[in-house]
Amino acid sequence: MEISDLHPEEHLGSSALLQDIVIGLSDGLTVPFALAAGLSGAVAASGSGLVITAGLAEIVAGSIAMGLGGYLAGRTEVEHYAAELARERREVQEVPHIERAEVQELLSEMGLSAETSARATAELTADPEQWVKFMMKYELGLETPDPRQAPKSAVTISLAYAVGGLVPLSAYFFTATPAAGLAWSAAITLVCLLFFGYFKARLTGQPPLAGALRMAVIGALAAVAAFGVARAVTG
């Protein structure tokens, strides 16, 4: 019988895919909704065509920008790790006595006795590659990044943003006036924000109801601010 059978543990595995979906959907639900709300306040007497056109343009531009941001973030992580890895390898070669002292200090901070940490340090530093990996993980707190994650993040975030953005905009396709579109858009988006916030909080181990309300409040405040500014500017 394995230990996991005696004591099952529930932990959320870190998922880059989940993080990217959350980033894309959260912005996709709030930003286009706020834009559509602001335009509804500015063109209240017109049809919904302008709101739809501007909304679609924003979704396209926003999804591209978000995807590019995800790609650059992924590439930056890879480049940062490579730079720190090269620096650690150089320090292990040039100042090994300082690096050994740092290893022993880290082991002592983990609770090992002075004698045990000294023996562990000697064994660990006998292999330069394992030595460097230890320093990267426990001194710098860096995990080896997946070099393929950057393009994956770009696509995932971009698609999630587009899907999220179409939710508030969809109401304007089936209503005659911006005011009616805004009313339906607000209702649909509020429900989606509540559900999204609830499941996001559950997946991340946070209080679900608080997460749902927080997400809904953020979206509502953004829409109210955009609507108010548009009405104030247009008189």
Which of 9-13, 29-33, 59-63, 151-155 is predicted with the least confidence, judged by mean pLDDT? Answer: 9-13
Residues 6+ apart with CB under 8 A from 181: 36, 40, 48, 51, 171, 172, 175
* Residues 204-223, mean pLDDT to the nearest whole number: 80
Residue 7 domain flag: no
| Model pLDDT for residues 18-36, shown as the tens digit of each residue | 888 888 888 888 888 888 8
What pLDDT score was predicted for residue 131? 85
* Residues 9-17, mean pLDDT to the nearest whole number: 54
**Which whole-number Å values give the CA distances from 171 to 33, 34, 181, 215, 219, in the listed order?**
11, 14, 5, 20, 16
Tokens representing 165 are 């953005």
Residue 235 domain flag: no
Residue 94 domain flag: yes
What pLDDT score was predicted for residue 208? 83
Helix, strand, coil percent content, the chain, rounded in steps of 5: 80, 0, 20
Residue 204 domain flag: yes
What pLDDT score was predicted for residue 9? 46
Residue 62 domain flag: yes
DSSP letter assigned to residue 11:
-
* Residues 91-105, mean pLDDT to the nearest whole number: 86
Residue 73 domain flag: yes
Q: How many domains does the chain have?
A: 1
| Model pLDDT for residues 186-196, shown as the tens digit of each residue | 888 888 888 88
Range of the domain at 149: 15-40+47-229
What pLDDT score was predicted for residue 162? 93
Which of 43-47, 52-56, 124-128, 187-191 is predicted with the least confidence, judged by mean pLDDT? Answer: 43-47
**Which whole-number Å values give the CA distances from 137 to 93, 132, 144, in the listed order?**
18, 9, 9
* Rounded distance between C-alpha atoms, residue 224 and residue 34, angstroms: 7
Residue 70 domain flag: yes
Q: Are 175 and 40 in contact (CB under 8 A)?
A: no
Residue 92 domain flag: yes
* Rounded distance between C-alpha atoms, residue 50 and residue 230, angstroms: 14
Q: What is the pTM of this model?
A: 0.74
| Model pLDDT for residues 171-189, shown as the tens digit of each residue | 888 888 888 888 888 888 8
Q: Which residue's structure tokens are 């490579």?
A: 82
Q: Are 23 and 70 in contact (CB under 8 A)?
A: yes
CA dihedral 182, 184, 189, 195 (to 10 degrees): 160
What rounded mean pLDDT belongs to the chain? Answer: 81
